[in-house]
Structure 1
Amino acid sequence: MQQRLKMEKVAPEAYRKVLDLNTYAMANVDPTLLELVKLRASMINGCAFCVDMHSTDATNAGENPRRLFALSAWTESSFFTREERAALALTDAVTRIGEAGVPDAVWDEARAVFSEKEIADVVMAVIMMNAFNRIAVSTRQTPRLDA
């Protein structure tokens, strides 16, 4: 597959806004939690470029590869903390928002473990990752095998 266009070159101002959301998320969400959110949203969206990038980033940051592999079945895994599970449930619901919205049970569990500000920050991180996934998938951005 050949990449259709480079969004950062064709629409740099718009692309910068998505990068700004990433900068915000990096400053406000725990780094381990953020990588899990980024990777999980990318898995749901079928974004090969972002799955490769965020699994590599998480591994390089010291994340246990078993946890990364388990993200595809996180609801059945005991590898994740209560906070991570709440963030992953929120990631799933916000990423698939058109199917059922964000169920009250998911929101209530997030409220049980996070402050309102922390929930807002996780939601913004999910929105940011979904934006990047949609850019990469629609433009056919693929991981480099030689990287």
Structure 2
Amino acid sequence: MNTAEKNIPAALNLLVVASLIVTVLFLLWLASRLPLPASLVIGLLFAMLLLTNYQLIHEATHGLLHPSPGVNENVGMLLSWLFPVSFTLMKVTHIVHHCCNRSDHEMFDCYYPGDSRILCCQPWRAKRRLV
């Protein structure tokens, strides 16, 4: 076991995962039985919990959710079902993100001197820089 694996709080992470899954399933069940206004409040709680879910998936994509690669992969896959996104897709795109971080390819939402102000104001810019 390397130093990073020794520092992973595996039991605590699995407790958080189990608590999250139980809470999310309970909120979904509860929202299906309440009137719309109350369901909207439940929806806000659900959305906040999914931020925690995303963070746990993020840890799993880096192999830091659990020291065992098999457990890490399976728990990451289980959490991805709630998101919903393929865990493999999440892993690949996130690692590519780290490879291209702060490159012109990934900074499509920034603009530079000389760029068209009209194109820069459009959502998800029509103009992209080539790497």
| TM-score clears 0.5 | no
TM-score (norm 2): 0.28
Structure index of larger Rg: 2
